[in-house]
Structure formats: structure tokens, C-alpha cells
Amino acid sequence: MAVATATTSSNEKASVAPGSQTDGFHLLIDALRLNGIETIYNVPGIPITDLGRYAQAQGMRVLSFRHEQHAGYAAAAAGFLTKKPGVCMTVSAPGFLNGLTALAHATTNCWPMILISGSSEREIVDLQRGDYEEMDQLAIARPHCKAAYRILHAEDIGLGVARAIRAALTGRPGGVYLDVPGALLGQVMDAAEGQKSLIEVVDPSPASVPGPDAVSRAVEVLKSAKKPLIILGKGAAYAQCDDKVRQLVETLGFPYLPMSMAKGLLPDTHPQCSSAARSLVLKDSDCVFLIGARLNWLLSHGQGKSWGEKGAKKFVQIDIEPSEMDSNQKISAPLIGDIESCATALLDAIGDNWQKPSEEWTGAVRDKVEGNIAKMAPRLQNNNVPMNYQGALGALKRAIAENPDTIVVNEGANALDQARSIVDIHKPRKRLDVGTWGIMGIGMGSAVAAAVETGNQVLAIEGDSAFGFCGMEIETVCRYNLPVCIVIMNNNGIYRGDGENWSGGEDPATTVFVEDSRYDMMMQAFGGVGVHVTSPDELKQAVDAAFASRKPTLINAVIDPAAGKESGNIGNLNPSSVVAQERYPQAKKIK
């Protein structure tokens, strides 16, 4: 039997010889390529091993990971960076479950992603006959994604892929699950009919323009503000209308606070950036304009002491999802639509005579920013041995300033919290981190995706604990020879490396790792460059060398085990125990 294979580029249907046949493998590949998807992140295995081989043979890039979770995190990051669904492909049951965490991560962050998993046939699963890796994956996936579909017939593959792409991209983006029973892939049909069954998705994320009354209302609320603040969220970065967002921010003249993955939409060194005066602007502002940001836990739900007097603020919010409004605070002026359309409408309504806020407000914010930056500057210049976080991150801050196109991947506790506030980002979408869920283990998957999707140098700043979730993927980085430099902030433990076993027993404390672990030797074992550094100067030199060579590099940066604090900057989320404080004197040391 001759199986027809596509030889055309993406977004173009292949011509096939009369009478030839095709199968589920090739139809799935053709459907993805027709819609501009050229990269798959996967872990091969039964029943999708050959699918990856065929996709690679058809010119797609197929990157194989050591664990499905990290392939999924790569696909999620790809969705954020490209505005196209990142595709992760896994085996059935355990492999599917490994990928499911990443799918939920994408959905929570509003990034387009499609998880494609092989599965058992319905007639076996429904009667629970005990098949190999038997599981009703479709039912399990549904609560964790925007949509979930199962394809049973080869002639429906084009439809299933189109449905998945449209669901992932339409409105608020998110994750979609596509269930592919093993028998489907081997189904054979006429190649010409197969090609006719494929669907190229047209305009899956159309502009959503806000109503004129909503625009007028928003302008009036913004105009009435005496101490306004803009909060930029990662939704604004995802929108990729960078010039329009910058024009809006600069036209309004408000101080702005970028959430972590919105850093770089305008440079962190911009005169309106108020990151270094976060406490001041959150507490004292009287009007908050949310652009692609949500009032979730990352902003204390817009409530509490950090937000000042209760009810003293008005909120204006841009979001494409109407149900997001009033989720934690009354939104006085909701703007329902995509960010570019809303920003354009606001700029048109504002015109050329906009009155920027008073110097009394903007000057006070600027003075606070400059004062805090000046206060922190000496700490970032230290060359202490062993290093503290300030000295190490000061070195990385300088490296990024000299190489602003570098994409920073960041995860950990102290490594995350302090890097977020210390390392400036200068261009849009140059920071990937743990996102809305605060999930650990995204580091290597995100680093691979950033390098593959952009070709840029990547700097992954990892806590030693966070690296433990994904460290085996350094073999993946080396295998594909990617320009990824990984810096492990190694303080011998979780939060700190000097914990005590409160029982006095021989086991190490629950938060302590093997002392003086040499992560750099792991990288050397896979053929990458491994470097051991003990001072900020050595760290800067090692990063400079890695950037110059673009070789896979891991730098083991020795941090003082006593550096850092419990739970980074979210210790308030760690429930305290009055009994523990009295019963275990050691507990007082970590607060």
C-alpha cells in the first residue's frame, strides 16, 4: 500500500496522486502543518512513537524530552511567545497525566496550548477491560482545560485539530486536550478525500472592540484620578501590540507597575516605571488601570493593608473575558475586548489634549523609586564570598543590561522573588517564570522553548530546589545544542541550607540538600560546559563566556546557606502555628 505524504509547506494543502492512500498519522501531521504549526514537544513511546518520526520526516521540528511535564511546559511557553498553540505530544495514561499539569498551567496563565495524547480505544475503556495504560483521559482532562475532544475516525482529524486550535485561541486563550486512540493513527483512507477533510482555521482570534459607552466611561474615570496607577499584566505582553501599549502608557503619563512577565513591555528603567516604589503606588493610588492583569493572589486580590483604605480606589480594567470583571473588586469602568482594540479606542477618545497627572504625584513616585534604587545599588555591587543573592543577582543584572535580547527564565523561592525585583528587563517577552500558579519545575522546559522559538540566548536563573524538579532536562538542552546558560543559586536547600532537624535526630532537616552539590558536573556529564563559581565577579565572567560561546552551560553559583528567607516573599501564605512557636524554639529562627 502506498501512503501519500504531504510535501508542501505549512498553510498549503498537498497535492496527492489519484488512487493513493493516507492514514491517521499523516493526516494529523498535515492538519497541524496546514495551520502553521511546525514544532512539537514530546516524549516518544507507545502509541505515538511513529507519529513523532513521521512528523520529523515531514519537516516538522520534534523535540524529545526526558519527562512529559517539561515537554508540556515548553509547549505552554511556546504559546505565550508565539500566540500560536504550543503542541505537546505524550503517551497514554501516566504520560498523559504528566502532561496534564502543564496543560492546566497553560490554561491558568491564559496561554494557547494543545496536549495530544495517545489513548486506549473506547470499547475497552468504557467496559474497563484492563487495557495497557487504560484510562478515560478525556474525562480527566476536561476540568483542567478550555476544551477537550476525542477523534475516533480518520476523516474527522482535520475537524478535531481545527476545533482544538480555535478553542485554544478564541477569546481568552488556554489549553486544549486532544485524545487520539492508538487505532485511529493506523486508519487508512483515500488520500484525496483525506486532504479535502483538512481545515485551515480562519481568524481564530478576531479583534474584539469595546463599546463606545464603555470607552467614554473609562476615559472619565481615568480623567478624574489624582493619583493614578497602571498595572501591566502578562496578558499585555501576550497581546504583542507593544507599540500601542507603550503609546497608551506614555500618553496617559501614569506611573506603571509591571507584573513579572510584563516586565520589558516598557523598559524597567523607564521614568514611569514604579516597580521600586510598589508599596507606595499600591497604597496611595486612587485609581488603578489594569491592562492584561488580574486582581488575583499576585496582587493580594486588590485588598488588604497593602492597598490602603478600603473602597478608596476606582478600578478600570481591560480584559477579553467579561466574567473577569468584579472578581475581587468593583470595576468602575470595564473594557471588554482585546488589548490592542481597547488601547486604540482609548487613544482615539483621549485625543491630543490629555492632562497628565500632577507633578506632586508623579514626582513623589519618582523620588521613591530613585531613593530605593540608590539604597539597593551598593548591595548589588558586593563581591562577597560566599555570595548572597544581592551580589549574585547584581552580576546577572549587569549581564542582561549588556545583552538585552536575552530571555530570562526564572524560578525558585528567593531566586525567583529577588531576581524579579533586581534583574531589569529591557524588551517585551524577555522574561518567563512560574506564572499565575507559582508552579515549580518550569525552568528547563521554558528555556528550551525560548531558545527554539526565538533563537535568542537564554539565561535560566534557578533556585537549587526548583532545578531539582526539572534538572534532567539539561541533557535535552545539550542534545539539541541550545544557547541556554543555567545559573543554579546553590544554597544547599529549600529557602535556606542551614535548617535543623527539630527532633534532634540524624536525618537532615526537611529543607536541606546534600551539602556543596556540584551541579556543574552534571552538565559536564552530558557534554555541556559546567562552571563552579564562588564570587559575583566569577559569576559575571562565566555568564559572559557562556553568552559569547552560545554553548549549553551550567554555572553552579555557591550562595551562603544562611542567605534567603522562608518562602521567599510569600511567607504570609505559609500557615503559622502558635503551638509550634512555643513547642519548638527553632521555629522562631525562620520567621
User: Across residues 47-76, what is the average pLDDT?
Assistant: 96
Q: Are 492 and 464 within 8 A, CB to CB?
A: yes
Closest by CA to 120, choosing from 52, 36, 195, 179, is 179
Indicate if 98 and 221 belong to the same structural domain. Answer: no
Q: What is the CATH number of the domain that holds 343?
A: 3.40.50.1220
pLDDT score of 542: 98
pLDDT in tens, 517-529: 999 999 999 999 9
Q: What is the pLDDT, as a whole number, of residue 315?
A: 98
310 and 427 part of one domain: no
Cα(554)–Cα(519) distance, integer angstroms? 8
Q: Considering only CA atoms, which of 406, 408, 438, 388 is closest in space to residue 539?
A: 388
pLDDT at residue 42, as a whole number: 98
Do 483 and 528 belong to one domain? yes
Peptide bond into 271 cis (omega under 30): no
Task: Please determine, for residue 44, whether its predicted confidence score (pLDDT) is greater than 60.
Answer: yes
Choose the final residue of a domain: 367, 395, 412. 367
Task: Place 134 in a pLDDT band, splitting at 50, 70 and 90.
Answer: confident
* Band of residue 576 on the pLDDT scale cut at 50, 70, 90: low
Please report which confidence band the pLDDT of residue 575 belongs to, taking 50, 70 and 90 as the band edges. confident
Has residue 241 been placed in a domain? Answer: yes
Please state whether 130 falls in left (phi above 0), alpha (psi between -120 and 50) or beta.
left
**Is 591 a domain residue?**
no
Q: Is 13 a domain residue?
A: no
At a CB cut-off of 8 Å and minimum separation 6, what does 324 contact? 294, 317
Q: DSSP readout, 430-458?
A: -EE-STTTT-TT-HHHHHHHHHHHH---E
Mean pLDDT of the region 176-184? 96
Domain ends where: 166, 197, 228?
197
- pLDDT at residue 13 tops 70: no
Exposed, middle or buried by CB within 10 Å (0-12, 13-18, 19+), for 265?
buried
Domain limit, last residue, from 197, 224, 255: 197
- CA-closest candidate to residue 83, choices 191, 204, 260: 204
* pLDDT number for residue 7: 43
Residues 111-123 have a mean pLDDT of 94
Region 537-554: mean pLDDT is 98
Return the pLDDT at 34. Answer: 98
Q: How confident is the model at residue 125 (pLDDT cuts 50, 70, 90)?
A: confident
Q: Is 540 part of any domain?
A: yes
Q: How confident is residue 5, by pLDDT bands cut at 50, 70 and 90? A: low
Burial of 479 (0-12, 13-18, 19+ CB in 10 A): middle
Residue 1: which pLDDT band, with cuts at 50, 70 and 90? very low
Q: Calculate the alpha carbon distances from 302 to 225, 263, 296, 305, 562 in Å.
A: 18, 20, 7, 10, 33
Count of domains observed in the chain: 3
Write down the pLDDT at residue 46. 86
541 burial class (0-12, 13-18, 19+ CB within 10 angstroms)? middle
Q: Note whether residue 204 is domain-resident.
A: no
φ/ψ region of 308 (left if φ > 0, alpha if ψ in -120 to 50, else beta) reads: left
- What is the distance between the alpha carbons of residues 588 and 571, in angstroms, rounded to a whole number? 13
Q: Are both 220 and 193 inside the same structural domain?
A: no
Residue 127's pLDDT is 85
Whether residue 386 is found in the same domain as residue 360 = no
- Domain membership of residue 275 as a residue range: 212-367
- What is the distance, to the nearest Å, from the Cα of residue 290 to the centroid of all Cα atoms in its chain? 19
Give me the chain's average pLDDT, please: 94
CATH number at residue 576: 3.40.50.970
Q: Is the pLDDT of residue 571 over 50?
A: yes
Using an 8 Å Cβ cutoff, are 454 and 81 in contact?
A: yes
Q: Are 487 and 540 in contact (CB under 8 A)?
A: no
Q: Which residue has the cell 528567607?
A: 565
Express each pLDDT in 450-494 by its tens digit: 999 999 999 999 999 999 999 999 999 999 999 999 999 999 999
Same domain, yes or no: 386 and 520: yes
**Residue 2 lies inside a defined structural domain of this protein:** no
State whether 469 and 521 are in the same domain: yes
Predicted confidence (pLDDT) per residue in 295-329, tens digit: 998 999 999 999 998 888 999 999 999 999 999 99
Residue 383 has a pLDDT of: 95
262 and 191 inside one domain: no
Which pLDDT tens digit goes with each residue over 322-367?
999 999 999 999 999 999 999 999 999 999 889 999 999 999 999 9
- In tens, the pLDDT along 506-515 reads 999 999 999 9
Q: Is 470 helix (H, G, I), strand (E, B) or coil?
A: helix
In a domain, 219, yes or no: yes
Query: Do 349 and 479 share a structural domain?
Result: no
Same domain (yes/no): 427, 532: yes
Q: Is the pLDDT reported for residue 9 higher than 90?
A: no
Residue 2 has pLDDT above 60, yes or no: no
In a domain, 291, yes or no: yes
Whether 514 and 581 map to the same domain: the answer is yes
Share of the chain above pLDDT 70, in %: 95
Q: Is 76 exposed, middle or buried (0-12, 13-18, 19+ CB in 10 A)?
A: buried
* Residues 188, 218 share a domain: no
